[in-house]
Amino acid sequence: MRLSEQSQHIAVEKGQLLFVHSSVADRFFIIFNGWIKLFRETLDGAQAVIDVLTTGHFFGEASIFQEGVYPYSAEAAESSELLSLPLSLLKTEIETNPKLAMAMLSSIAQQGSKQNRELEHRTLQNAPQRIGCFILRLADQQQSGPTAVHLPYDKNLVAARLGMQAETFSRALSKLKQETGININGATIEMNDISQLRDYSCSACSSEFPCKDLTEKSRYSS
How would you list the strands of the sheet with 183-185, edge to edge? 147-150, 188-191, 183-185
Residue closer to its own copies by CB (options 30, 94) is 94
Q: How far is the CB of 109 from its own copies (least distance, A)?
A: 4
Q: How far is the CB of 64 from its own copies (least distance, A)?
A: 8
**214 forms bridges with which residues in the sheet?**
none
Residue closer to its own copies by CB (options 8, 203) is 203
Q: How far apart are CA 177 and CA 195, in angstroms?
A: 14
Residue closer to its own copies by CB (options 34, 60) is 60
Q: How far is the CB of 98 from its own copies (least distance, A)?
A: 5
Whether 73 and 85 have beta carbons less than 8 Å apart is answered as no
Q: How far apart are CA 51 and CA 48, in angstroms?
A: 9
Q: How far is the CB of 24 from its own copies (least distance, A)?
A: 14
Residue closer to its own copies by CB (options 79, 110) is 110
φ, ψ (nearest 5 deg) of residue 141: -75, -10
Q: Which long-range contacts (CB under 8 A, 24 or more apart) does 92-95 make?
A: 92/2, 93/2, 93/3
Residue closer to its own copies by CB (options 94, 211) is 94
Residues forming contacts to its own copies in the complex (CB under 8 A) are: 21, 40-44, 46, 48-50, 62, 65-67, 71-72, 94-96, 98-99, 101-102, 104-106, 108-113, 115-116, 118-120, 122-124, 163, 203-206, 212
Q: How far is the CB of 221 from its own copies (least distance, A)?
A: 15
Q: How far is the CB of 203 from its own copies (least distance, A)?
A: 7
Residue closer to its own copies by CB (options 11, 48) is 48
